[in-house]
Amino acid sequence: MTLSSSSGTLGAGATATVTVSINAGANVLAAGTYSDTVSFTNTTNGNGTATRSVSLTVSASPVLSVTPDNRDVGVAAGTTTFEVANSGAGTMDWSAAVIAGGEWLFIQSGASGTNGGTVTVGFTSNQTAWPRQGIVRVSAAGAAGSPKYVTVTQASGSVSLGLIGQRLVEKAWIIQREYGKLTVTVDNPASIVVDTYVIYRNAGGQGYQILQQLGGSSVSGVQWTDIDAFLEPGTSYTYKIVAVDALGNIIGESNEISI
């Protein structure tokens, strides 16, 4: 408590008002009743000395609790949940909203409730090669600990490439030439957008050079082939293929194959 004044002088017939107020210390008080006494003492002659009782009742208030603080989720689309609870007393109305990552994260159900509840958050597949994080804010007016921020962290996607090579011969009538047939197997469970597939070739140990660049949209299916026409007899060729996103980042690389 805080008194507006703790001493003073009064003339005959005069009055003064002392205001008793609660201070910041009351904020940390647990629920309950707190009592004290204010004493007014006539320091001149003691006449009229008196006491007054004061009491403070601290009522229990709602406390917002959301668990867990973060959910780690996989690359594929799906849902995850957060539990909302009122760990205090009284009634607590709350609501949840996505405040970051709204392009891939959304409240599927449980966007609002009273006291306890479950917030179900949906997310799309991560079609980038990088992890990403979205934020959900849970607010409860008048509740301690509000608002509460929880996060959803989604793993990065990846493109797995398998490469098989064959050295074959193509024949016309008189002319025949050797060529390479490359079979590429693509495992892209998150449907990451591949901007370009770059095929590298190392001819005769001279170092890798770009053989061909294929637009990611120009090939389809989990398996496709590419032809390297033509090969010099007696020369060994080594190949690898790399998947690149629109920013030029490598998001997948195959094994090397020699033919």
Partner 1 sequence: MKKTLIVPAVLLLLTMASAESRLFVSVGAGFMRPTDPGFRQIYGNQALLPEVAAAVRLYKGLCLTAGVGRASEEGMTPELGLMTKARQEYVSVGLGYMLRISQGLCADANAGIAGMSCHEEALGAIVKGHGLGYKGELGILLMEEDGRAFIGLRLGYISARVSGLEPPIAGPLSIKLGGPKISLCFGLQLFGND
Residues in contact with partner 1 by CB under 8 A are 168, 170-179, 227, 229-230, 233
CB closer to partner 1 out of 30 and 175: 175
Distance of closest approach, residue 243 Cβ to partner 1, in angstroms: 25
CB closer to partner 1 out of 221 and 233: 233
Distance of closest approach, residue 227 Cβ to partner 1, in angstroms: 6
Distance of closest approach, residue 181 Cβ to partner 1, in angstroms: 9
CB closer to partner 1 out of 227 and 246: 227
Return all residues near 220 (Cβ < 8 A) that are at least 6 apart: none
Please identify which residue in the block is written with the tokens 């690359």: 75
Distance of closest approach, residue 197 Cβ to partner 1, in angstroms: 20
C-beta of residue 226 within 8 angstroms of C-beta of residue 198: no
CA distance 106 to 99: 10
Q: What are the φ and ψ backbone dihedral angles of 248, each rounded to 5 degrees?
A: 90, 5
CB closer to partner 1 out of 168 and 246: 168
Q: What are the φ and ψ backbone dihedral angles of 96, each rounded to 5 degrees?
A: -125, 145
CA distance 48 to 10: 13
Distance of closest approach, residue 178 Cβ to partner 1, in angstroms: 8
CB closer to partner 1 out of 28 and 175: 175
